[in-house]
Amino acid sequence: MEYKNIIVDFEEGISIITINRPKSLNALNIETLNELECALYQLKVDNRTQVLIITGAGEKAFVAGADITTFPTLTPDGAREFVDLGQRVMDTIESFPVPVIAAVNGYALGGGTELAIACDMIYASDNAFFGLPEVTLGIIPGFGGTQRLQRLIGRHLAKELVFTGEKIDAYKAKEIGLVNNVFPQAELMTRVKEIARMIMKRGPLAIRAAKRSMVFGMDHDLRTANEIEKLCFITLFGTEDQKEGARAFLEKRPPQFKGK
């Protein structure tokens, strides 16, 4: 499918989705969210992606939020449609079968921060800013931001960001555990691809199982979550990769995983 607002690239197991509306700092409108949903579905069905990277076009913004130009005329029905779509996209990213990395190359505000925190890991360029400025517009975060952020950085810090609407820079974001690491902007994609390739050297079925266990376990109490982990763990013992991983260790050679 041809996209107008996103670019989808594939190189050796790594898929890259670039939000491509640089004139409006990659703001998310309905069309872009629809395209994102469609691309995620296609990548999932295609099944060749081992790591997915999401980034923004240009050097200024990852995503500067939901598209504010659509707000003035939005009715409650329209808002529900928008928020249903946005939350569906974030949930699809969160439960995407392989790791999803946000390469935050500039402003990640409102829906931009919400998109980043739906990903499994976040790497930021040194010019990146994060924040949930929705209250400055008389609204609240609607793509899961009030919920995911407090699970990620704790209630008090999350409430400070949501209630003040203030932006924080990449270094502060790293200090509070929102971001995995900060790189110079020119190096961001290279460094993120290095991390993706490191993940791709590991057992692909183990990576999928680890993600499934961590994402679905997160919503449950510890005992139930450990049961989810147990099921994911046991399943791997019926795979060729598990036998290969153990044999390779004992034979002192690198494993040759096949994803079987």
- Grouping H, G, I as helix, E, B as strand and the rest as coil, residue 9 is strand
* Positions marked active-site: 114, 134
| Minimum distance from residue 166 beta carbon to ligand DAK (Å) | 12
What gap in Å lies between CA 87 and CA 136, rounded to an integer? 21
Which residue, 119 or 196, has its beta carbon nearer to ligand DAK? 119
| Minimum distance from residue 68 beta carbon to ligand DAK (Å) | 4
What gap in Å lies between CA 70 and CA 62, rounded to an integer? 19
Contact present, 180 and 130 (Cβ < 8 Å):
no
Which residue, 55 or 239, has its beta carbon nearer to ligand DAK? 55
What gap in Å lies between CA 228 and CA 235, rounded to an integer? 11
Contacts with ligand DAK by CB under 6 A lie at 24-25, 27, 64-69, 74, 79, 82-83, 86, 107, 109-111, 133-134, 137, 139, 142-143
Q: Where are the beta strands (DSSP E) in 49-141?
A: 51-56, 61-63, 100-104, 107-109, 121-125, 129-131
Which residue, 83 or 210, has its beta carbon nearer to ligand DAK? 83
Which residue, 50 or 113, has its beta carbon nearer to ligand DAK? 113
Contact present, 120 and 102 (Cβ < 8 Å):
no
CA distances from 62 to 27, 114, 152, 171 (A): 9, 11, 20, 16
| Minimum distance from residue 243 beta carbon to ligand DAK (Å) | 47
| Minimum distance from residue 96 beta carbon to ligand DAK (Å) | 20
